[in-house]
Each structure stands twice: as C-alpha cells, then as structure tokens.
C-alpha cells in the first residue's frame, strides 16, 4: 500500500502535540529528534506536526510505521522526551 498526501501546500498538517509544564507561564518549545530525512516537521511554537512536501512516497508495504521522537523544553531548559 502506498500513500500520497495532497501537496497543494508546502506541508500536510497531521496533528497538534500537547504538553504542559508545572511552572505557569513557561513557553514550551517542540523539537523532532528524528524527521526521516525531512519527511516530517514540527512547528517549534505551535506544536503542529506535518508531513513535508518532499515528493517522497510513503510505501507502507516497505515501512509499516514511523516512530517519531519529540523533545519539549521550557524556559528553564528542562527536557521532556516523548
């Protein structure tokens, strides 16, 4: 099974990541630790995870899933990994 995503825009929005911090008022920054050669991206402020328009085909017969690793930091530089 192959999957092509409609690429009318530079990227295709998948989902929004949610994290919280006990320290009120801290801005959180989101970073992907693995983006599979630019296939995925995350907006470090809004936490929107997207598939980028790289003209790559996602062939689910060859690769069943993508395991993304995410790092979230706050103003105190505490690291939260998911």
Tens digit of each residue's pLDDT (9 = 90 or more) over 35-53: 888 889 999 888 999 988 6
Spatial distance between the Cα atoms of 23 and 71, rounded to a whole number of angstroms: 17
The pTM score is 0.71
Please give the distance of CA 77 from its chain centroid, rounded to a whole number.
20
Phi/psi of residue 22, each to 5°? -65, -30
Q: What is the pLDDT of residues 48-79, one digit of tens each?
A: 999 886 666 676 778 788 889 988 888 776 66
Q: What is the pLDDT of residue 48?
A: 92
């Amino acid at each position: 099974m192959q999957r092509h995503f409609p690429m009318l825009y530079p990227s295709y929005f998948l989902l929004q990541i949610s994290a919280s911090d006990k320290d009120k008022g801290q801005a959180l920054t989101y970073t992907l630790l693995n983006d599979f050669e630019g296939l995925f991206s995350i907006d470090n402020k809004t936490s929107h995870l997207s598939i980028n328009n790289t003209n790559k085909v996602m062939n689910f017969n060859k690769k069943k899933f993508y395991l993304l690793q995410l790092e979230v930091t706050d103003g105190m530089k505490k690291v939260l990994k998911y």
